[in-house]
């Protein structure tokens, strides 16, 4: 493996949904329990977090049609939007991945849900999968 980048674990799987209540009902019927909801204005989404072991499902409902999740839903419908990898020193990891030739969407981390800091890698450089780096305090 080139470089030293190694994520800690899979932080969450982001799932785009048109109706947060409907999605929560579905996942709760599957035995998962919502541990919290939050609006993330910078990303124009309402979120609901459902823990599943060390990983979580993060349901994402757009608050505006022109948001990234709104556009995703319009083009592809509901479903898996991204995979989030837990990291420490997100600035260092971004720098390292850029040096390895990865295309980044975020040059600098931005605020994410739950007080996290996040940055995304462009899916054109990750075989079509949107990957989020997450640093939690």
Residue 2: its pLDDT value, please? Answer: 55
The rounded distance, in Å, linking the Cα atoms of 25 and 5 is: 37
In DSSP terms, 119 is beta-bridged to 133
Angle at 53 between CA 49 and CA 58, to 5 degrees: 20
pLDDT of residue 27: 97
In order along its 137 residues, the chain shows pLDDT tens digits of 456 778 889 999 999 999 999 999 999 999 999 999 999 998 999 999 999 999 999 999 999 999 999 999 999 999 999 999 999 999 999 999 999 999 999 999 999 988 999 999 999 999 999 999 999 98
- What six digits make up the tokens of 89? 């020193």
**Domain spanning 9-135, CATH architecture:** Roll (3.10)
Q: Provide the residue ranges of all domains of the chain, joining segments of one domain with +.
A: 9-135
Nearest to 112 by CA among 56, 74, 65: 56
């Amino acid at each position: 493996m080139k470089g030293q980048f190694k994520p800690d674990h899979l932080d969450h799987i982001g799932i785009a949904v048109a109706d947060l209540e409907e999605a929560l009902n579905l996942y709760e019927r599957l035995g998962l329990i919502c541990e919290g909801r939050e609006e993330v204005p910078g990303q124009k989404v309402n979120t609901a977090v459902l823990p599943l072991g060390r990983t979580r499902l993060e349901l994402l409902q757009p608050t505006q049609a022109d948001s990234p999740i709104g556009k995703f839903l319009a083009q592809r419908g509901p479903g898996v939007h991204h995979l989030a990898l837990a990291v420490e020193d997100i600035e260092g990891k971004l720098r390292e991945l850029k040096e390895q030739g990865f295309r980044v969407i975020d040059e600098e981390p931005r605020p994410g849900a739950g007080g996290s800091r996040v940055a995304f890698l462009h899916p054109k450089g990750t075989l079509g999968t949107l990957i989020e780096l997450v640093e939690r305090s």
